[in-house]
A and B are shown apart, each in its own frame.
Chain A
C-alpha cells in the first residue's frame, strides 16, 4: 500500500462501531408511520448497545438528514435526546452527499480537538413527503405548496430540469449504451443478493422492531423491502424514461438510518471490537459539474481527489459509490477505463434505494467491512448529489485487518 498522509491524522473510525437499519422502499414499511428523527435516535442507541458502545462515551453528535421532519428545528440535540443521552451537536445536509459529509465533519471535529468521540447519525424518510407552504409573492399563485421529495426530484430550480433528465443528458454526452446500462443494473442486483445470502450485509444491518402508540409491534424493519430480483430480459423490456434511464436502471426512494463513530486514535482500544484495525481519513474532495450533468460529477470529483492524494484508481482495494442511476457507473468506468464489475461488490444504492441522508453512510460501512475482509487497503467512496454535486473520499484500512 502506498503511503499517503491522512488529512485528519488524529481521527479514526473504530471498527465494529457502525450499523444501519435496513432501507425499506418508501411507503412499504412501518417507517412510513413514524418520526424518522426519533426513530434514528432510538435506533442509534440500540445499535451502539449491540456494538457494546456506551452512549455516554460520545461527546458530540453530528446528525444528517435532508427531508424535513417534525421538530426539525431542534435538530441534533433533539435527536440525541431521543437516543436517551443529551449531547451537543449540529445538523448537516447536502442531499445525497450528506452521509459522507457528516463523517468528514466528524473527523474535522475530532482533529480540531473539541471532541474525541463523535457520533454520526444520518437518516431520512422519503415516505409521506412533507409539504411546505411558502408565501411566494412573485408567483401567480402567490403561495407555493411544495412536496419536499417529489417536487424537488422533479425540478432543479437552478436549471429547471428534473433529476432524471440529468441522467439522460449525461448518458447522451458520454454516448452510453442502453445495453451496457441494463447489464450494470442486472449485475449490481446480483452483487447485492450474493452479499445478502453470504451474510455479509447482516454485519452492517441491524433488524429493528417498530412500536405503535400502544407499545405494540407495528412492524419489523428486517429487510430492504422493495428490492426486486430483476432479470436481464426484464430490464431490457423496460420503458425508457430518458436516455438509458428505466425503472430498473435507477434507484427508488426509501427510508432508513445509519450511524457510526469517529474518534481520536487513542480511544480505539476501548471502543473497538478489533482495535488492531486502523481506519484513517486519507483525502476528500467536492466538485460541481456543469448544469444538468449530475451523473458525471462523481467521476470528476474522484479525478480531483486522486490528483490531490497522488493515488491512482489501481491503488484502491475497494471502490463503492452512491449511484442513483446505472449511468453513473458507466460514466465512471469510461472515464477511468475501469471495469465496473470490480466495484460495488456488496450492493449499492441503485439496488437498495435512496433515503438520501444515510445513503453514503451505509455505502461507507459496507466498503470498510469489505476492505477488512480483504486484509486492508484504500477505500474509495464517492457519489453524486442534487445540484450536480460530486463528493468523494478515500479511507485507509490497515493491513492489520486480516483475520
Chain B
C-alpha cells in the first residue's frame, strides 16, 4: 500500500508514483517501446509531421523533436505554405552549436520538407505513413479545423496535437500540446487530453516535461505571463512609468521582465499572442483580462516595448515607498486573482501551476508558493486593494475561497513530496535549486515520514520537473550580502535540515538521476548515509566560481567520510569548481554509480538492506588533522575565494562534528559580506535585480 503526502506529478502522466520506480527497479516506460507504439515497428516506422514547420514554434519543435526522434529512424516532415520564409534552415546554426556539425547534419538529413496549399496534402506524404501531426499553423479556428479534417481523412488513426496559443481542445476537436518559449530548448508542454496518451508518455521518456492541464481558454503559463504583462501595462497607464522601468520593478518583486521578453521573442508575434490570449480570456472572465489601449496599439503596430537603441532612456524613475506599494498592488493583486481563478477551475496540479512560472517565465518563486508566503488574509487584502485601483476586476473571476486550504498538503508541499510503501520512504524534490521553500517543505516531508514510522528513505529528484539539481538558489543569498547574521542563518538552518537525513533515519540514500547535481543540492545529498548516482551525472561544487564558500557542510562532511588519501580529490572538487563524472567519484564522493536501471535497483536495495548491499562509510565525528594545505597544484591558488574555502575546510575539519556546523556557517556568512562576493556573480545579480 503506497501512501503519499500529496499526488505525485508523475501520476498525472499515468506513470504512477516515484516509489513505484524504485520498487519495480525500472522507469515506468521506455522510449523505444513507446516509439514502436506511436510510430510503429522499426521496419514500418511512420512519420512525425509538423505543419507550420517554418514558424517560430514549428521550426523550434522540429529541432527539439528531431534531436530525440532521429535515432529511432523516424522521418520528420515539415509542412508549410509555399513562399513562407525558411524557418527550419535558420535553426541549423543553433543545432550545430549544441550538438556539433555531424549530428546536426544527421538530424537535418531526416527532415523532409513539403509545401501544400492548405486544401490538399502532397501526394508523396502518404509514402511516409504519418502517425503523429503536430499542428503549428496560424491561430484561425476554421483553418485549423479544416487542416485536421484533411489529415484525419487522408490518414485515419493519425494522432493530432495542436500547439495552439489559446483555443481550448473543445473548440478545436483535437488534443493540445502547448509549448513554452524558447521552442528549441524549453521542454515544457502544457497538454490537454482526456487521459495521458502514449505520445505524452513518449515525450516524458524522451526527456520532455509534459504538464497536463484542463481544457480552458488559454494555458497556465499564458494566464500568468500575459496576465503579468497586462498588470504591468495597467500600471504604466496609471502612472506613466515607462515600460523599461516597470520591467525592472517587476523583476525586483517577481523575477520576469515581461516587456523585454516580448521584444526578445519578437514583438510583432508576441504582442499579438499576448493580446489574443487576453482578448479571449476577457470574453470569458471579464475585465481582469481586458487588453489595455497600449497593448492594442502595440499589437496593431508590432512595435517593440523598449526604446530603440538610439533612444536609450535618459530620465531615471525611482519610485518612492508609496508608489512602490501601489505598484505592488497593481501587479500582485492581479496575479493573485488570476491564480485564484486557475485554482478554482482546477486547471492543473498545484505543483505544475506553481512551477511553470519558474521554469518558463523567470519567476524567482512559484506563484502559489508566493501566495503561501503572503498568507491567505494578506493575499485577499492585496486583491481587495487592487479592486479599489481597478474596480472592473472585482465583478468576476475572483475566488478568495481557494485560499482557505493553505494548510493542505497540496499547498504545503509544492516542491517536495514524500511517499512510502510501509518500509521505504521516498522524498522527491521538484525544484532544481534549493531555497527556503524547499528547505521548509523538506522538513515537513521528513516529519511526515517519521510520523508514519518510516526509518529508511531515498532522497531524489521527482523524475518529472527537476531533470537536474543545480545547487542553492543564489537569490536567497541577497539579504546575506550585507548582513552576516542572515548568511549564518541560511547556512546553519539549511545544514540543520540536511543533517536530519543522516541522523533521523536508519538508512538514507541520496539518489542522483539527472544530468548534474551541484553545489547546495550535492551538499544536501552527501548528508545521506549512501549516495547513488547514474554514472554519467556531473557532480561538482562550483561555489568557488561565484564565488561563495559552500554553506551546507561540503567543507567538512565529505572529508569525514573518506580516507585521508582522498582528501585531495575533495579539495580539487571544492577549489577548482570543476565537476567530476559520477562514475569517477565512487568511493570518495558516491557509493555507487551505474546505469539508471542498476542505480534504481541498488538504491532501493540499499534502502531496504543497507550494509548487506554496500558497506556504509563511517562519518568521523572527531577533529580531522592533516588536511593538505599545499595548493601549489592549483592555478590561482592565492585567489581570495580559494583561500576562504580552504580556511573553511581546515577550520571546520579541525573541530568535532557538533561544532563544525557553526564554524562552516560562520565562514560562509563572513565571505558573503566580502568584496569578492559582492563583486562576483551574486553581488552582480543583486545589483541588477534589487537596486532599481
Contact B314 A84 (CB under 8 A): no
B316: Cβ under 8 A from any A Cβ = yes
**Please, how many angstroms separate the alpha-carbon atoms of A45 and B241 in the complex?**
7
Contact A54 B240 (CB under 8 A): yes
Interchain nearest-CB distance for B468 vs A (Å): 33
**Please, how many angstroms separate the alpha-carbon atoms of A35 and B313 in the complex?**
11
Contact B315 A211 (CB under 8 A): yes
Instruction: Report the nearest B residue to A216, measured CB to CB.
Output: B316
**Please, how many angstroms separate the alpha-carbon atoms of A55 and B237 in the complex?**
8
Interchain nearest-CB distance for B457 vs A (Å): 49
**Considering the complex, which residues of chain A in the window 191-222 have a beta carbon less than 8 Å from any beta carbon of chain B?**
208-211, 213, 215, 217
**Please, how many angstroms separate the alpha-carbon atoms of A38 and B316 in the complex?**
12
**Considering the complex, which residues of chain A in the window 33-58 have a beta carbon less than 8 Å from any beta carbon of chain B?**
34-35, 38-39, 42-43, 45-46, 48-49, 53-56
**Please, how many angstroms separate the alpha-carbon atoms of A366 and B193 in the complex?**
67
Q: Which of B237, B243, B297, B313 contacts A42 (CB 8 A)?
A: B313
**Please, how many angstroms separate the alpha-carbon atoms of A46 and B239 in the complex?**
8
Contact A84 B316 (CB under 8 A): no
Please give, as numbers and ranges, the residues of chain B lying within 8 Å of A84 by CB-CB distance: 236, 240, 242-243
Please give, as numbers and ranges, the residues of chain B lying within 8 Å of A55 by CB-CB distance: 240
Interchain nearest-CB distance for B220 vs A (Å): 31
Contact A210 B293 (CB under 8 A): no
Return 19 A-B CB contacts under 8 Å, by A number: A38-B311, A42-B314, A49-B240, A49-B241, A54-B238, A55-B240, A56-B237, A56-B293, A56-B294, A82-B311, A83-B240, A84-B242, A208-B315, A209-B315, A209-B318, A210-B315, A211-B316, A215-B312, A215-B313
**Chain A binding site: helix, strand, loop or mixed by DSSP?**
mixed
Instruction: Report the nearest A residue to B237, measured CB to CB.
Output: A56
Contact B240 A39 (CB under 8 A): no
Please give, as numbers and ranges, the residues of chain B lying within 8 Å of A236 by CB-CB distance: none
A86: Cβ under 8 A from any B Cβ = yes
Q: Which of A56, A209, A213 contacts B316 (CB 8 A)?
A: A209
Please give, as numbers and ranges, the residues of chain B lying within 8 Å of A45 by CB-CB distance: 240, 242
Given contacts A45-B242, A84-B243, contact A211 B237 (CB under 8 A): no
**Please, how many angstroms separate the alpha-carbon atoms of A39 and B312 in the complex?**
11
B503: Cβ under 8 A from any A Cβ = no
Further pairs besides A42-B315, A46-B317, A217-B316: 7, Cβ < 8 Å: A49-B241, A54-B237, A54-B238, A56-B293, A209-B318, A211-B316, A213-B312
Please give, as numbers and ranges, the residues of chain B lying within 8 Å of A211 by CB-CB distance: 312-316
Please give, as numbers and ranges, the residues of chain B lying within 8 Å of A215 by CB-CB distance: 312-313
**Considering the complex, which residues of chain B in the window 257-300 have a beta carbon less than 8 Å from any beta carbon of chain A?**
293-294, 297
Please give, as numbers and ranges, the residues of chain A lying within 8 Å of B237 by CB-CB distance: 54, 56
**Please, how many angstroms separate the alpha-carbon atoms of A211 and B313 in the complex?**
7
Please give, as numbers and ranges, the residues of chain A lying within 8 Å of B316 by CB-CB distance: 208-211, 217
Please give, as numbers and ranges, the residues of chain B lying within 8 Å of A48 by CB-CB distance: 240
Please give, as numbers and ranges, the residues of chain A lying within 8 Å of B239 by CB-CB distance: 49, 54
Instruction: Report the nearest A residue to B292, measured CB to CB.
Output: A56
Sort chain B's interface into a size bin: 10 to 19
Please give, as numbers and ranges, the residues of chain B lying within 8 Å of A54 by CB-CB distance: 237-240
**Please, how many angstroms separate the alpha-carbon atoms of A54 and B389 in the complex?**
14
Instruction: Report the nearest B residue to A220, measured CB to CB.
Output: B316
Please give, as numbers and ranges, the residues of chain B lying within 8 Å of A42 by CB-CB distance: 242, 313-315
Contact A86 B297 (CB under 8 A): yes
**Considering the complex, which residues of chain B in the window 304-346 have a beta carbon less than 8 Å from any beta carbon of chain A?**
311-318
Interchain nearest-CB distance for B13 vs A (Å): 44
Please give, as numbers and ranges, the residues of chain A lying within 8 Å of B293 by CB-CB distance: 56
**Please, how many angstroms separate the alpha-carbon atoms of A213 and B314 in the complex?**
8
Instruction: Report the nearest A residue to B315, measured CB to CB.
Output: A42
Sort chain A's interface into a size bin: 20 to 34
Task: Return the CB mask of B225-243 against A: 1 if under 8 Å, else 0.
Answer: 0000000000011111111
Contact B315 A46 (CB under 8 A): yes
Interchain nearest-CB distance for B321 vs A (Å): 14
Interchain nearest-CB distance for A229 vs B (Å): 29
Please give, as numbers and ranges, the residues of chain A lying within 8 Å of B243 by CB-CB distance: 84
Please give, as numbers and ranges, the residues of chain A lying within 8 Å of B312 by CB-CB distance: 211, 213, 215
Interchain nearest-CB distance for B577 vs A (Å): 29
Contact A210 B242 (CB under 8 A): no
**Please, how many angstroms separate the alpha-carbon atoms of A34 and B316 in the complex?**
13
**Considering the complex, which residues of chain B in the window 377-392 have a beta carbon less than 8 Å from any beta carbon of chain A?**
none
**Please, how many angstroms separate the alpha-carbon atoms of A269 and B143 in the complex?**
51
Instruction: Report the nearest B residue to A31, measured CB to CB.
Output: B314
Interchain nearest-CB distance for A84 vs B (Å): 5
Task: Return the CB mask of A254-267 against B: 1 if under 8 Å, else 0.
Answer: 00000000000000
Interchain nearest-CB distance for B107 vs A (Å): 40
**Please, how many angstroms separate the alpha-carbon atoms of A217 and B313 in the complex?**
11
**Considering the complex, which residues of chain B in the window 202-244 have a beta carbon less than 8 Å from any beta carbon of chain A?**
236-243
**Considering the complex, which residues of chain A in the window 47-76 have a beta carbon less than 8 Å from any beta carbon of chain B?**
48-49, 53-56
Interchain nearest-CB distance for A323 vs B (Å): 29
Instruction: Report the nearest B residue to A83, measured CB to CB.
Output: B240
Instruction: Report the nearest A residue to B303, measured CB to CB.
Output: A86
Which of B240, B293, B297, B318 has the most chain A CB within a 10 Å cutoff? Answer: B240
Interchain nearest-CB distance for B257 vs A (Å): 13
Interchain nearest-CB distance for B368 vs A (Å): 33
Please give, as numbers and ranges, the residues of chain A lying within 8 Å of B313 by CB-CB distance: 42, 211, 215
**Please, how many angstroms separate the alpha-carbon atoms of A86 and B296 in the complex?**
13
Contact B314 A35 (CB under 8 A): yes
Interchain nearest-CB distance for B472 vs A (Å): 29
Interchain nearest-CB distance for A314 vs B (Å): 42
Contact A34 B317 (CB under 8 A): no
**Considering the complex, which residues of chain B in the window 171-195 have a beta carbon less than 8 Å from any beta carbon of chain A?**
none
**Considering the complex, which residues of chain B in the window 618-661 have a beta carbon less than 8 Å from any beta carbon of chain A?**
none
**Please, how many angstroms separate the alpha-carbon atoms of A39 and B315 in the complex?**
6
**Please, how many angstroms separate the alpha-carbon atoms of A342 and B237 in the complex?**
43
Contact A46 B314 (CB under 8 A): no
**Please, how many angstroms separate the alpha-carbon atoms of A49 and B238 in the complex?**
8
Instruction: Report the nearest A residue to B312, measured CB to CB.
Output: A213
Task: Return the CB mask of A1-45 against B: 1 if under 8 Å, else 0.
Answer: 000000000000000000000000000000000110011001101
**Please, how many angstroms separate the alpha-carbon atoms of A211 and B242 in the complex?**
14
**Please, how many angstroms separate the alpha-carbon atoms of A170 and B237 in the complex?**
51
**Please, how many angstroms separate the alpha-carbon atoms of A208 and B317 in the complex?**
8
Please give, as numbers and ranges, the residues of chain A lying within 8 Å of B236 by CB-CB distance: 84
Interchain nearest-CB distance for A105 vs B (Å): 24
Task: Return the CB mask of A207-243 against B: 1 if under 8 Å, else 0.
Answer: 0111101010100000000000000000000000000
Q: Which of B238, B241, B314 contacts A34 (CB 8 A)?
A: B314
Instruction: Report the nearest B residue to A49, measured CB to CB.
Output: B240
Interchain nearest-CB distance for A39 vs B (Å): 5
Which of B236, B293, B315 has the most chain A CB within a 10 Å cutoff? Answer: B315
Please give, as numbers and ranges, the residues of chain B lying within 8 Å of A210 by CB-CB distance: 314-316
**Considering the complex, which residues of chain A in the window 73-117 have a beta carbon less than 8 Å from any beta carbon of chain B?**
82-86
Instruction: Report the nearest B residue to A84, measured CB to CB.
Output: B242
Please give, as numbers and ranges, the residues of chain B lying within 8 Å of A34 by CB-CB distance: 314
Interchain nearest-CB distance for A207 vs B (Å): 10
Please give, as numbers and ranges, the residues of chain B lying within 8 Å of A217 by CB-CB distance: 316
Please give, as numbers and ranges, the residues of chain A lying within 8 Å of B294 by CB-CB distance: 56
Please give, as numbers and ranges, the residues of chain B lying within 8 Å of A85 by CB-CB distance: 240
**Please, how many angstroms separate the alpha-carbon atoms of A114 and B294 in the complex?**
22
Which of A35, A38, A48, A86 has the most chain B CB within a 10 Å cutoff? Answer: A38
Please give, as numbers and ranges, the residues of chain B lying within 8 Å of A49 by CB-CB distance: 239-241, 317
Interchain nearest-CB distance for B152 vs A (Å): 47
Interchain nearest-CB distance for A8 vs B (Å): 27
**Considering the complex, which residues of chain A in the window 273-311 have a beta carbon less than 8 Å from any beta carbon of chain B?**
none
Please give, as numbers and ranges, the residues of chain A lying within 8 Å of B311 by CB-CB distance: 38, 82
**Please, how many angstroms separate the alpha-carbon atoms of A80 and B314 in the complex?**
14
**Please, how many angstroms separate the alpha-carbon atoms of A49 and B310 in the complex?**
24
**Please, how many angstroms separate the alpha-carbon atoms of A55 and B236 in the complex?**
10
Interchain nearest-CB distance for A135 vs B (Å): 28
Interchain nearest-CB distance for A104 vs B (Å): 26
Interchain nearest-CB distance for B243 vs A (Å): 7
**Please, how many angstroms separate the alpha-carbon atoms of A395 and B256 in the complex?**
49
Interchain nearest-CB distance for B317 vs A (Å): 6
Instruction: Report the nearest A residue to B307, measured CB to CB.
Output: A82
